[in-house]
Amino acid sequence: MPSTDDLKQRIEAAIPGARAEVSDLTGGGDHFRASVIAPDFANLSRIEQHRRVYAVFGAEIGGPIHALSLETRAE
Amino acid sequence: MSDNPVRDAITEAITSHDIILFMKGTPEQPMCGFSARTAAALEALGTEYAAVDVLPDPRIRAELSSISNWPTIPQLFVRGELVGGCDIVTEMYESGELADALGVHAPAEAPAHAPAAAEPGAPPLTIDNNLVDR
Protein backbone atom coordinates (compact mmCIF):
# COMPACT_ATOMS: atom_id res chain seq x y z
CA MET A 1 0.00 0.00 0.00
CA PRO A 2 1.54 3.36 -0.98
CA SER A 3 2.15 5.85 1.81
CA THR A 4 2.00 9.63 1.72
CA ASP A 5 5.78 9.69 2.19
CA ASP A 6 6.25 7.33 -0.78
CA LEU A 7 4.19 9.56 -3.00
CA LYS A 8 5.93 12.72 -1.82
CA GLN A 9 9.39 11.25 -2.40
CA ARG A 10 8.51 9.89 -5.82
CA ILE A 11 7.06 13.20 -7.00
CA GLU A 12 10.04 15.17 -5.69
CA ALA A 13 12.50 12.68 -7.24
CA ALA A 14 10.80 12.70 -10.64
CA ILE A 15 10.15 16.41 -11.10
CA PRO A 16 13.24 18.63 -10.72
CA GLY A 17 12.98 21.12 -7.87
CA ALA A 18 9.50 19.96 -6.92
CA ARG A 19 8.15 20.31 -3.40
CA ALA A 20 5.16 18.13 -2.64
CA GLU A 21 2.78 17.81 0.25
CA VAL A 22 0.71 14.66 0.22
CA SER A 23 -2.20 13.74 2.43
CA ASP A 24 -4.32 10.61 2.64
CA LEU A 25 -7.89 11.75 2.09
CA THR A 26 -9.61 8.78 3.65
CA GLY A 27 -6.91 7.11 5.76
CA GLY A 28 -7.33 4.05 3.56
CA GLY A 29 -4.03 4.35 1.67
CA ASP A 30 -5.62 4.72 -1.75
CA HIS A 31 -7.23 8.19 -1.99
CA PHE A 32 -4.57 10.88 -1.89
CA ARG A 33 -4.29 14.60 -2.33
CA ALA A 34 -1.04 16.21 -3.44
CA SER A 35 -0.04 19.84 -3.58
CA VAL A 36 2.96 20.21 -5.86
CA ILE A 37 5.06 23.29 -6.52
CA ALA A 38 7.73 23.01 -9.20
CA PRO A 39 9.65 25.55 -11.27
CA ASP A 40 9.24 23.25 -14.29
CA PHE A 41 5.52 23.99 -14.23
CA ALA A 42 6.10 27.61 -15.24
CA ASN A 43 5.52 27.06 -18.93
CA LEU A 44 2.88 24.37 -18.63
CA SER A 45 -0.91 24.68 -18.66
CA ARG A 46 -2.78 23.39 -15.64
CA ILE A 47 -3.70 20.26 -17.60
CA GLU A 48 -0.05 19.66 -18.49
CA GLN A 49 1.04 20.23 -14.87
CA HIS A 50 -1.38 17.58 -13.68
CA ARG A 51 -0.36 15.19 -16.46
CA ARG A 52 3.27 15.61 -15.36
CA VAL A 53 2.40 14.49 -11.83
CA TYR A 54 0.12 11.67 -12.97
CA ALA A 55 2.94 10.45 -15.21
CA VAL A 56 5.10 9.81 -12.15
CA PHE A 57 2.72 7.00 -11.19
CA GLY A 58 1.64 5.67 -14.57
CA ALA A 59 -0.77 2.76 -14.36
CA GLU A 60 -0.80 2.93 -10.54
CA ILE A 61 -3.35 5.72 -10.94
CA GLY A 62 -6.67 3.98 -10.97
CA GLY A 63 -4.99 0.87 -9.55
CA PRO A 64 -3.34 0.91 -6.09
CA ILE A 65 -3.67 4.70 -6.11
CA HIS A 66 -7.39 4.87 -6.59
CA ALA A 67 -7.53 8.65 -6.64
CA LEU A 68 -4.92 11.39 -6.63
CA SER A 69 -6.40 14.83 -6.25
CA LEU A 70 -3.96 17.53 -7.36
CA GLU A 71 -3.19 21.16 -6.82
CA THR A 72 -0.20 22.38 -8.80
CA ARG A 73 1.61 25.64 -9.33
CA ALA A 74 4.93 26.92 -10.57
CA GLU A 75 6.14 28.64 -7.40
CA MET B 1 -15.09 3.55 -38.93
CA SER B 2 -12.04 1.90 -37.46
CA ASP B 3 -12.08 -1.55 -35.94
CA ASN B 4 -12.54 0.03 -32.51
CA PRO B 5 -16.21 1.00 -32.18
CA VAL B 6 -15.92 2.11 -28.56
CA ARG B 7 -13.12 4.53 -29.40
CA ASP B 8 -15.05 5.79 -32.43
CA ALA B 9 -18.17 6.34 -30.33
CA ILE B 10 -16.22 8.33 -27.72
CA THR B 11 -14.58 10.49 -30.36
CA GLU B 12 -17.97 11.09 -31.98
CA ALA B 13 -19.52 11.99 -28.62
CA ILE B 14 -16.74 14.48 -27.83
CA THR B 15 -16.93 16.18 -31.21
CA SER B 16 -20.72 16.34 -31.39
CA HIS B 17 -21.36 17.89 -27.94
CA ASP B 18 -20.06 21.32 -26.97
CA ILE B 19 -19.99 20.33 -23.30
CA ILE B 20 -19.66 16.69 -22.36
CA LEU B 21 -18.79 15.12 -19.03
CA PHE B 22 -17.53 11.56 -18.69
CA MET B 23 -18.29 10.44 -15.16
CA LYS B 24 -18.94 7.51 -12.86
CA GLY B 25 -22.70 7.19 -12.63
CA THR B 26 -25.10 9.87 -13.82
CA PRO B 27 -25.65 13.48 -12.70
CA GLU B 28 -28.76 12.32 -10.88
CA GLN B 29 -27.00 9.37 -9.31
CA PRO B 30 -23.23 9.90 -9.29
CA MET B 31 -21.23 6.91 -8.12
CA CYS B 32 -18.12 8.79 -7.00
CA GLY B 33 -17.60 11.99 -5.05
CA PHE B 34 -15.30 13.49 -7.68
CA SER B 35 -17.86 12.91 -10.41
CA ALA B 36 -20.61 14.30 -8.18
CA ARG B 37 -18.64 17.47 -7.52
CA THR B 38 -17.82 18.05 -11.17
CA ALA B 39 -21.43 17.57 -12.28
CA ALA B 40 -22.57 19.86 -9.46
CA ALA B 41 -20.27 22.65 -10.70
CA LEU B 42 -21.84 22.45 -14.14
CA GLU B 43 -25.33 22.41 -12.66
CA ALA B 44 -24.58 25.40 -10.42
CA LEU B 45 -23.78 27.36 -13.56
CA GLY B 46 -27.08 26.28 -15.09
CA THR B 47 -25.46 25.00 -18.23
CA GLU B 48 -26.73 22.14 -20.32
CA TYR B 49 -24.32 19.33 -20.93
CA ALA B 50 -24.17 15.76 -22.10
CA ALA B 51 -23.07 13.16 -19.58
CA VAL B 52 -21.68 9.71 -20.22
CA ASP B 53 -21.47 7.05 -17.54
CA VAL B 54 -18.17 5.18 -17.95
CA LEU B 55 -19.09 2.39 -15.56
CA PRO B 56 -21.22 0.11 -17.76
CA ASP B 57 -18.24 -0.95 -19.86
CA PRO B 58 -14.57 -0.79 -18.73
CA ARG B 59 -13.53 -0.23 -22.33
CA ILE B 60 -15.06 3.25 -22.21
CA ARG B 61 -12.68 4.36 -19.50
CA ALA B 62 -9.67 2.69 -21.11
CA GLU B 63 -10.31 4.22 -24.53
CA LEU B 64 -11.20 7.61 -23.10
CA SER B 65 -7.95 7.81 -21.14
CA SER B 66 -6.05 6.73 -24.22
CA ILE B 67 -7.67 9.49 -26.29
CA SER B 68 -7.33 12.22 -23.67
CA ASN B 69 -3.99 11.26 -22.09
CA TRP B 70 -5.71 11.72 -18.73
CA PRO B 71 -5.81 8.81 -16.28
CA THR B 72 -8.78 9.58 -14.05
CA ILE B 73 -12.54 10.07 -14.16
CA PRO B 74 -14.35 12.50 -14.40
CA GLN B 75 -13.23 14.29 -17.55
CA LEU B 76 -14.87 17.43 -18.87
CA PHE B 77 -14.57 18.35 -22.54
CA VAL B 78 -15.61 21.70 -23.96
CA ARG B 79 -15.75 22.09 -27.73
CA GLY B 80 -13.64 19.00 -28.21
CA GLU B 81 -10.88 19.94 -25.76
CA LEU B 82 -10.18 18.35 -22.39
CA VAL B 83 -10.71 21.01 -19.72
CA GLY B 84 -9.78 18.77 -16.82
CA GLY B 85 -10.97 16.57 -14.03
CA CYS B 86 -12.56 17.38 -10.70
CA ASP B 87 -9.67 19.43 -9.31
CA ILE B 88 -9.27 21.70 -12.33
CA VAL B 89 -13.02 22.11 -12.84
CA THR B 90 -13.44 23.02 -9.16
CA GLU B 91 -10.58 25.53 -9.31
CA MET B 92 -11.99 27.06 -12.47
CA TYR B 93 -15.48 27.23 -11.00
CA GLU B 94 -14.24 29.16 -8.00
CA SER B 95 -12.10 31.55 -10.05
CA GLY B 96 -14.86 32.23 -12.58
CA GLU B 97 -12.86 30.67 -15.41
CA LEU B 98 -15.31 27.82 -15.81
CA ALA B 99 -18.23 30.09 -16.67
CA ASP B 100 -15.98 31.84 -19.20
CA ALA B 101 -14.86 28.54 -20.71
CA LEU B 102 -18.45 27.36 -20.99
CA GLY B 103 -19.61 30.69 -22.40
CA VAL B 104 -22.22 31.26 -19.68
CA HIS B 105 -22.79 33.82 -16.97
CA ALA B 106 -22.83 32.39 -13.47
CA PRO B 107 -26.34 32.77 -12.03
CA ALA B 108 -26.58 35.21 -9.11
CA GLU B 109 -27.50 32.34 -6.81
CA ALA B 110 -24.49 30.22 -7.79
CA PRO B 111 -22.42 29.49 -4.67
CA ALA B 112 -18.92 30.98 -4.48
CA HIS B 113 -17.41 27.63 -3.56
CA ALA B 114 -18.03 24.64 -5.76
CA PRO B 115 -20.82 22.53 -4.28
CA ALA B 116 -19.92 18.97 -3.30
CA ALA B 117 -23.07 17.64 -4.93
CA ALA B 118 -25.97 18.97 -6.92
CA GLU B 119 -28.87 20.49 -5.03
CA PRO B 120 -32.15 18.60 -5.17
CA GLY B 121 -34.30 19.97 -7.91
CA ALA B 122 -31.39 20.50 -10.27
CA PRO B 123 -32.55 20.76 -13.87
CA PRO B 124 -32.88 17.58 -15.87
CA LEU B 125 -29.98 16.82 -18.12
CA THR B 126 -29.44 15.10 -21.36
CA ILE B 127 -27.91 11.75 -20.69
CA ASP B 128 -26.22 10.59 -23.81
CA ASN B 129 -24.78 7.17 -23.39
CA ASN B 130 -24.45 5.61 -26.80
CA LEU B 131 -21.09 4.06 -26.09
CA VAL B 132 -22.30 0.64 -25.09
CA ASP B 133 -22.51 -1.99 -27.79
CA ARG B 134 -26.02 -2.53 -28.99
User: Does residue B27 register a pLDDT over 60?
Assistant: yes
Q: What are phi and psi of B132, to 5 degrees?
A: -90, 140
* Pairing assessment for the beta strands A19-24 and A31-37 based on DSSP bridges: antiparallel
Query: Of B71, B86, B88, which is closest to A46 when you measure between CB atoms?
Result: B88
Best of B34, B88, B92, B94 to disrupt the A interface (most A CBs within 10 Å) is B88
Position with higher pLDDT, A1 vs B38:
B38
The pLDDT, as a whole number, for residue B124 is 47
The pLDDT, as a whole number, for residue B120 is 56
- Whole-model pTM: value is 0.88
Task: Give me the percent of chain B exceeding a pLDDT of 90.
Answer: 73
pLDDT digits (tens, 9 = 90+) for B69-91: 999 999 999 999 999 999 999 99
User: Does residue B119 register a pLDDT over 90?
Assistant: no
Q: Which residue of A has its CA nearest to B82?
A: A47
From the list B12, B97, A25, A22, the residue with the least C-alpha distance to B88 is B97
Asked whether the beta carbons of A36 and A53 are under 8 A apart, the reply is yes
ipTM confidence: 0.87
User: Does residue B12 register a pLDDT over 70?
Assistant: yes
The pLDDT-based confidence of B26 (bands split at 50, 70, 90) is very high
Position with higher pLDDT, B108 vs B98:
B98
A65 three-state secondary structure:
strand
Best of B37, B61, B72 to disrupt the A interface (most A CBs within 10 Å) is B72
Average pLDDT of chain B, as a whole number: 89
Element (H, E) at A72: strand A67-73
Query: Which residues of chain A register pLDDT less than 50?
Result: none
